[in-house]
Amino acid sequence: MCANWGNKLQPFVVLEDIAAPLDQSNVDTDQILPARFMRRPRKGGYQDFLFRDLRFNEDGSEKPDFVLNQEPFRKARILVAERNFGGGSSRENAPWSLSDFGIRCVIAADFGDIFYTNSMKCGLLPVQLDIGLCNKLREQLHARPGMRLRIDLPQQTVTGPDTATYRFTIDPFRKRCLIDGLDDIGLTLSYDAEITAFELSYRHRFDWLFDSPR
């Protein structure tokens, strides 16, 4: 579970675990976490709301054809998707629900910009790989369910079931935060002198922003 109310995240270094194939493009944040659950308290956990309408019927029973309802994918900690995963809303509840379910890494061809940023804020690693590789990995996972993928963040590599290894890129700052399990507020507060000096000059340059009515 990601722990946004403290300032420690579960560090992400190397993960070798079961991966589930999600054969859908445009899995938007509304599908990951429907809006009706967005006001649930963070501390209660979001795992039950993940992919709610894809995983469950309206009466709460499971949809047997959804991949995360099938063995061995119920225990998957890695998700391999298609194109445009996490497009749409800024709800951080979407990565919370993945993370609380136990997913620590999502591999896709591309991600929604805000989802991508939000994920790393709660210890979930988004890995961008070429669509051809995403398709290949999903085919391999379908062929041999339960196969593990190895995600090595320091080396920035994904190793497939056939031991083929693929490199991915990640922002060095975000990589450091993930490996150390740190969020950025502590770091930012260490720049307090620079922020304060900037604010003073900003107030002078843009004084009209500070004298508006209340």
Residues of this chain, 160-189, that bind another protein according to CB under 8 A:
171-173, 183-185, 188-189
Segment 4 to 63, residues that bind another protein, using CB under 8 A: 4-7, 23-26, 28, 30-31, 34-36, 38-42, 53, 58
The angle at the Cα of 61, spanning 93 to 91, to the nearest 5 degrees, equals 10
The 10 Å CB-count burial string (b at 16+, else e) for 158-181 is bbbbeeeebebebeeebbebbeeb
Specify the residue, 89 or 140, whose C-beta has the smaller distance to another protein.
Answer: 89
The DSSP secondary structure of 70-89, one letter per residue, reads: STTGGG-SEEE--SSBT-S-
Q: Which of 121, 125, 140, 151 binds another protein (CB under 8 A)?
A: 121
**Contacting another protein (CB under 8 A), which of 69, 70, 135, 156?**
135
> Quick one: 42 or 74, whose CB is closer to another protein?
42
Name the residue nearer to another protein (CB basis): 71 or 213: 213
Q: Quote the CA–CA distance of 37 and 155 in Å, as a whole number.
A: 37
Q: Is 100 in the site for another protein (CB under 8 A)?
A: no
Q: Which residues contact 188 (CB under 8 A, 6 or more apart)?
A: 195
The distance of closest approach from Cβ of residue 181 to another protein in the complex, given in angstroms and rounded to an integer, is 14
79 φ/ψ sector (left φ>0, alpha ψ -120 to 50, else beta): beta
Task: State the nearest-atom distance from the C-beta of 133 to another protein, in Å.
Answer: 14
Q: Is 112 in the site for another protein (CB under 8 A)?
A: yes
Q: What is the DSSP letter of 207?
A: G
Stretch that binds another protein, among 12-20, 71-79, 84-92, 149-157 (CB under 8 A): 84-92
Bridging pattern class, strands 165-167 and 78-80: unpaired
Other residues' Cβ atoms within 10 Å of the Cβ of residue 133: 17
Question: Three-state SS for 6?
Answer: coil
The site for another protein (CB under 8 A) is made up of 4-7, 23-26, 28, 30-31, 34-36, 38-42, 53, 58, 82-84, 87-93, 95, 110-114, 117-118, 121-122, 131, 135, 171-173, 183-185, 188-189, 191, 194-195, 198-199, 202, 205-214
